[in-house]
Each structure stands twice: as structure tokens, then as C-alpha cells.
């Protein structure tokens, strides 16, 4: 059970409040997409859920447990960023297993997890390569593989595809949807790409200036936007 709940969550950097009293329930296994203009607080929300930023006020629960002061490594969360720094001197397999090796997971278990993640992501033929010998899409798959081997209850993606070209973005979007069907864990996905949001999400959260503007299924937001801001964001042609 790894749903995510926010109760009156706010965040300030110094005297500047950037997240205002956010209430949000994300069900276990749900694919939730955060959308909104640059600077509206999408990354800050993800980083608070991940434990990379403190919550200034309010409560953050994961799997029903209050997580406000629990360190990132103990939240059962993995995060994939837009810029996925792989270790250049390590092979794909070593990149994927690095985190597990650091935490002392037995070798046989690591190998099983890496080969299962490699199969899921079609990386089996590439395990012995170094990052420099991979395409952009393959590197991003390794970054996702590195997260999968940790068996996260919750997967966070912060604009993971925005550095890829258009064709690859579509391909990776299909792969991420397939990944979610296979793993069935909770995914929270940030994008400013409306097509990604509409096709991936069970539920879309529209953010504006640190506040939740509307939450709903892609269809409900499309058919019944709460205001012009949401309508402009969801309904506008690409
Ligand atoms: P988004 O991901 O939606 O583009 P962010 O969450 O990165 O937005 O940023 C939300 C707001 O918080 C912005 O105004 C940004 O400048 C500010 N902000 C983000 N991180 C910091 C930080 N570490 N220190 C100060 N301000 C920050
Ligand atoms: Mg961001």
C-alpha cells in the first residue's frame, strides 16, 4: 500500500512561499500527472514527496505513514529526472546495480533484479556497454532501470523525456505506460507536454502558482475545465 496523501502542504524558500496549502490524494497504483506552467511548483512538490526538500507545514503521508521527517532513502520512492547522470566509467549493469551494491544487497539478488529490469526495459543486449556507447533513449532507459531495481512503491518522474527528440519521446511514453501496467505501482509524473499528460494519466493535477487549480481524469478536465486557465492548458492545440 503506497498511496501518497498531502494535507495542507505548504513550502517556503526563505520568506517566499511557493506551495500554498495543497491537499491531494493519490491512490495506490494510480498514475498521476502534474501539469502547469514553468515555476508553478511541480518539481518542488515532487522533491518534497521524495524527501529532497522539507515540508514547511502540513502533512505528507506515504502508504498511510507520516513522512515529514523520514529520510529520502526510507520512503520507498525512486525518482527519475530530466537530466539522468549515469556513471560514465560503469557499464549499464553496474549503473543499474550501484545503489543496491552500496546498501549491501546480496549479489545473487542484485543480479536477479538487474536482469529482470533489463528485460522489462529491453536493455538485455546492452548490459556490458558504457553510457557513451548508448543513444539518448537507451540512456534514459538505464536511468529508469536504476530506479526499478529498487522496487519502489512510488515512482516519481520529473519531465523525464524533455531532453529527447519528438520521435523518441513518443516511444518512451509508450514504454512508460507499459511499465506502469507491468509494475502496477504508484507513479507521479511531471510534464509540460499536454499529450503526455492526456495519454498517461489516470488523474491530472493542474497547478498554478503553487496551488492546485483542478484535479480530475483527462476526460473530465477536457470536457469540464474549472476555469479558463485549465481550459487553456488542457484544451489548447499543441
Ligand atoms: P516547476 O517545476 O513547476 O517549474 P519549481 O518547483 O522548480 O517549478 O519552482 C517553484 C518556485 O519555487 C519557483 O518560483 C522557483 O523559483 C522556486 N524555487 C524552487 N527551488 C528553489 C530553491 N531551492 N530556492 C529558492 N526558490 C526555489
Ligand atoms: Mg520543474
Q: How far, in Å, CA of 2 to CA of 111, rounded? A: 26
C-alpha closest to that of 161 among 118, 186, 195? 195
Name the grid cell of 156.
516519481
Q: What is the position in ligand 1's atom list of the atom closest to the CA of 46? A: 6
Name which residue sits closest to atom 26 of ligand 1, judged by CA. 13
Which residue do the cell numbers 538487474 mark? 114
Q: Calculate how far, in angstroms, residue 37's C-alpha sits from the geometric centre of ligand 2.
A: 9
Beta strands in 126-208 (DSSP E): 154-158, 186-190, 203-208
pLDDT, tens digit only, all 238 positions of the chain: 589 999 999 999 999 999 999 999 999 999 999 999 999 999 999 999 999 999 999 999 999 999 999 999 899 999 988 777 899 999 999 999 998 888 888 999 999 999 999 988 889 999 999 999 998 889 988 999 998 898 889 999 999 888 788 888 888 898 899 989 988 899 999 998 888 999 999 999 999 999 999 999 999 999 999 999 999 888 654 4
pTM value is: 0.92
Name which residue sits closest to atom 15 of ligand 1, judged by CA. 39
ipTM entry: 0.99
Stretch (H or E) spanning 141: helix 136-148
CA dihedral 183, 173, 60, 203 (to 10 degrees): -100
Q: Calculate how far, in angstroms, residue 11's C-alpha sits from the geometric centre of ligand 1.
A: 10
Name the grid cell of 97.
546495480
Q: What is the position in ligand 1's atom list of the atom closest to the CA of 53? A: 23
Amino acid at each position: 500500500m503506497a498511496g501518497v496523501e498531502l494535507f495542507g502542504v505548504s513550502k517556503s524558500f526563505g520568506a517566499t512561499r511557493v506551495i500554498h496549502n495543497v491537499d491531494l490524494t493519490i491512490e495506490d497504483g494510480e498514475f498521476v500527472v502534474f501539469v502547469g506552467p514553468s515555476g508553478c511548483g511541480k518539481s518542488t512538490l515532487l522533491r518534497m514527496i521524495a524527501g529532497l526538500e522539507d515540508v514547511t507545514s502540513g502533512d505528507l503521508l506515504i502508504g498511510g505513514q507520516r513522512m515529514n521527517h523520514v529520510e529520502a532513502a526510507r520512503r520507498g520512492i525512486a525518482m527519475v529526472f530530466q537530466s539522468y547522470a549515469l556513471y560514465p566509467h560503469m557499464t549499464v549493469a553496474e549503473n543499474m546495480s550501484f545503489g543496491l551494491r552500496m546498501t549491501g544487497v546480496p549479489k545473487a539478488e542484485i543480479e536477479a533484479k538487474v536482469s529482470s529490469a533489463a528485460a522489462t526495459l529491453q536493455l538485455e543486449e546492452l548490459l556490458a556497454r558504457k553510457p557513451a556507447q548508448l543513444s539518448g533513449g537507451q540512456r534514459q532507459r538505464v536511468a529508469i532501470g536504476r530506479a526499478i531495481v529498487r522496487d519502489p512503491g512510488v515512482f516519481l518522474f520529473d519531465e523525464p523525456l524533455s531532453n529527447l527528440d519528438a520521435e523518441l519521446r513518443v516511444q518512451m511514453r509508450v514504454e512508460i505506460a507499459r511499465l506502469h501496467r507491468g509494475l502496477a505501482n504508484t507513479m507521479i509524473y511531471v510534464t509540460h507536454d499536454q499529450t503526455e499528460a492526456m495519454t498517461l494519466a489516470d488523474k491530472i493535477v493542474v497547478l498554478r502558482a503553487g496551488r492546485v487549480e483542478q484535479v480530475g481524469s483527462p476526460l473530465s478536465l477536457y470536457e469540464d475545465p474549472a476555469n479558463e486557465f485549465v481550459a487553456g492548458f488542457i484544451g489548447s492545440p499543441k
